[in-house]
Structures are given as C-alpha cells and as structure tokens.
Amino acid sequence: MRKSFGDHQVLRGIDLDAAPGDVVCVIGPSGSGKSTLLRCVNLLEVPSAGRITVGGTEITDPDTDIDAARRRIGMVFQQFHLFPHLDVLGNLTLPQRRVLGRDTEHAVAVARENLARVGLADRAAAYPSQLSGGQQQRVAIARALSMGPEVMLFDEPTSALDPELVGDVLAVLRELAGDGMTMMVVTHEMAFAREVADRVVFLDGGVVVEEGPAARVVGDPVHERTRDFLRRVLHPAGVRTPPPAPSP
C-alpha cells in the first residue's frame, strides 16, 4: 500500500497483516507515517495505491460500502475528540443512534456495559471537562467499543496524558487485548509494546524497516535505524543514567 500527498510519498510500499486477535504495535520517529498508516486503514485517507482488507472485505474496493466498512473499525486518537457539550452517556449513545440506528434503550445498555469495561461505570453523567485526561481517553475507548468494532486502531492513545494517568489507559488496552480484540497501536510505550504486542513494526521514512515478535524487535533489534530509534525513545536526550559510583 502506498500513500502520497501531492508529490510527497509518505507511505512507500507497506505490506502488513494482522490475524484476528493480534495486537500489532507500530513504532517509529515523528513523520515516519504512523498516523497516515492508521488513517488509511480506517479510510480517513484514501491510499494512493494498493489494497486494504479488513475481515475478508477489501475496503479499498470502489464497490465497497465505505460507511459499512468503517463501522467495523474503531479509532482512538491522541486527543480524545469527545463532544464537550454532551455528558459521557451522550458521547457514547449519540454515534450508536446516529450511525447504527439503535434505539435509546439499546444504546444506553451498550454504553453502560462499555463504561464498566473501562472502569468508569460511575461517571456516566459527567461532562468531559469534569474528567481527567486519562478518564476522557477511557471514555473515547468506550465510545469506540460501543460501535461493536472488529478492529481497534489507537494513535498514540497515551501521549497527551500526564505520566500518572498513562497506566489506567494502558490497563484498558491490555484487557482488550486479553479479550481477543484485533488491535493496531501506535505507541512510544516500549514496555507496553513488549508486554502486550504480538508483533512490533518499526516504520521509518514510510517503509517498514523491521518487524517481528515484540521481544525481538524491542529487545534485540537487527537494524541500526531501529536501534538508534529505541535508544532515543528509551533514553531521551538529557536523561542520562548516572555513571556507577566509584568503588571506595
């Protein structure tokens, strides 16, 4: 699959697959095309060339019903994109009613079930502004889940959060993975990738430089570019491990 914006080729021949229930983590430097890749899978961007298939349906086929295809794919963004004027329950029920045509009773039941799943059963009446970033992100996840997706895409779901809120969101992702959800997660959380991902894909300059089992790609990368990137992510500039104390 390829994607260009004008004559800027952003994705230059990506060939990836995920089996049902797989968790694929996508890592790579800023500008490498991670978001564009996810946006293509959800048809928020139309690939310039190539095909994308979800659960046996080629969603890039011009004859495919794009709205129906999109409904099978949930997406969660770095910024939560909740409706500020609706309470949590409203955020979860509106898309179900509008897009899936569910009646209110059905939509509310599904919403409550998914709020419980992300640990927010008691916040249904809160407005987004009354919630922490981590809670807002969990609401966004519950909203996506309420649409009954077969695949969930996460684009840096914890990057906008204060460090102490990251864990709650990752716990939800971990649980979803455990429940067998097929997931693609763009993340800089290497410990999470290593623990939860079946596969890690390292993207750089619009190509897959390296992919494989998480423990191998994160723990023992083959390519110099991957090693370089991991060094920078794991040891950001300015944060140096102190030298060992001199022995007396």
Longest Cα–Cα distance in the chain: 75
CB of 248 to ligand ATP, least distance (A): 46
CB of 123 to ligand ATP, least distance (A): 29
Given 14, 24, 34, 218, the residue binding ligand ATP (CB under 6 A): 34
Could you tell me which of 86, 95, 79, 93 has the C-alpha nearest to residue 127?
Answer: 86
SS3 content of the chain, % helix, strand, coil (to 5): 40, 20, 40
119 with 155: CB under 8 angstroms?
A: no
CB of 205 to ligand ATP, least distance (A): 10
Using rule CB under 6 A, residue 199 touches ligand ATP: no
Partners of residue 49 on adjacent β-strands: 2
- Total binding residues for Mg ion by CB under 5 A? 2
* CB of 28 or CB of 149, closer to ligand ATP: 28
* CB of 40 or CB of 111, closer to ligand ATP: 40
| Residues sharing a CB contact under 8 Å with residue 124, sequence separation 6 or more, in sequence order | 87, 88, 89, 111, 112, 115
Binding positions for Mg ion, 14-53, rule CB under 5 A:
34-35
Using rule CB under 6 A, residue 232 touches ligand ATP: no
Could you tell me which of 137, 132, 139 has the C-alpha nearest to residue 93?
Answer: 139
| Residue span binding ligand ATP (CB under 6 A) among the ranges 25-33, 48-56, 102-110, 189-197 | 25-33
DSSP count for the chain of H helices, then E strands: 9, 10
Using rule CB under 5 A, residue 114 touches Mg ion: no
Using rule CB under 6 A, residue 226 touches ligand ATP: no
| Residues sharing a CB contact under 8 Å with residue 160, sequence separation 6 or more, in sequence order | 78, 79, 80, 133, 137
CB of 40 to Mg ion, least distance (A): 13
Interface residues with ligand ATP (CB under 6 A) are 5, 8, 10, 28, 30-36
Interface residues with Mg ion (CB under 5 A) are 34-35
